[in-house]
Amino acid sequence: MKLHRLIAGTSLLALGAGMAGAEELTLVEVITSPERTEVLESLVGAWEEESGHSVEIVSLPWGQAFETLATMVAGGDIPDVVEMPERWMALYTGADQLVDLGPMVAAWEDGETLTDQTVNMGSMTASGELNMIPYGFYLRAMFYNKDLLAEAGVESPPETMEEFVAAAEAVSALDGKSGYCLRGGPGGTNGWLMFAATMNDSDRFFTDAGQSTITEPGSVEGLQMMIDLYQSGGAPRDSVNWGFNEIVAGFYSGTCAFLDQDPDALIGIADRMDPESFAVMPMPTGPGGHAFPTIGYAGWSIFKATEHPDAAFDLVAHLSSPESNSTWAQRVGVIPIHEGADQDPYFQTEQFAGWFDTLNDPDTYRPLIVPSYLEGYGYFADSLSIETAQQALLGEITAEQLANIWGDFLTEEYAKYQAAGGQ
| pLDDT-derived band at 349, boundaries 50, 70, 90 | confident
Arithmetic mean of pLDDT, 207-212? 97
Residue % of the chain over a pLDDT of 70: 94
Arithmetic mean of pLDDT, 83-110? 94
Domains 2-138+296-351 and 141-293+374-419 share a fold: yes
pLDDT at 18: 34
Arithmetic mean of pLDDT, 179-191? 96
DSSP string, 7-50: -TT--HHHHTTT--STTEEEEEE-S--HHHHHHHHHHHHHHHHH
Distance CA 303, CA 419 (A): 25
Instruction: Look at phi and psi of residue 297 and say left if phi exceeds 0, alpha if psi is from -120 to 50, else beta.
Output: beta
Closest alpha carbon to 261 in 244, 274, 249, 275: 244
Confidence (pTM): 0.74
For residue 177, the Cα-to-chain-centroid distance in whole angstroms is 27
- Window from 96-105, 240-249, 260-269 with minimum mean pLDDT: 260-269
Higher pLDDT, 294 or 357: 294
- Window from 87-96, 143-152, 240-249 with minimum mean pLDDT: 87-96
Distance CA 324, CA 349 (A): 21
- Window from 14-23, 55-64, 130-139 with minimum mean pLDDT: 14-23
pLDDT at 3: 52
CA distances (Å), 9 to each of 14, 72, 79, 98, in order?
11, 8, 15, 22
Computed over its alpha carbons, how large is the radius of gyration of the chain? 21
Arithmetic mean of pLDDT, 289-311? 96
Mean predicted lDDT score pLDDT of the chain: 91
pLDDT surpassing 50 at residue 13: no
pLDDT surpassing 60 at residue 5: no
pLDDT at 21: 46
Task: Say which CATH superfamily domain 2-138+296-351 falls into.
Answer: Periplasmic binding protein-like II (3.40.190.10)
In one-letter notation, the amino acid at residue 57 is I
pLDDT at 17: 35
- Report the interhelical angle of 34-51 vs 322-332 (nearest 10°): 170
pLDDT surpassing 50 at residue 10: no
Closest alpha carbon to 253 in 148, 126, 403, 169: 148
For residue 330, the Cα-to-chain-centroid distance in whole angstroms is 16
Q: Are 239 and 172 in contact (CB under 8 A)?
A: no
Domain ranges of the chain: 2-138+296-351, 141-293+374-419
| pLDDT-derived band at 185, boundaries 50, 70, 90 | very high
Topology at the third CATH level for domain 141-293+374-419 = D-Maltodextrin-Binding Protein; domain 2 (3.40.190)
| pLDDT-derived band at 1, boundaries 50, 70, 90 | low
pLDDT at 83: 98
pLDDT surpassing 70 at residue 14: no
Arithmetic mean of pLDDT, 158-176? 97
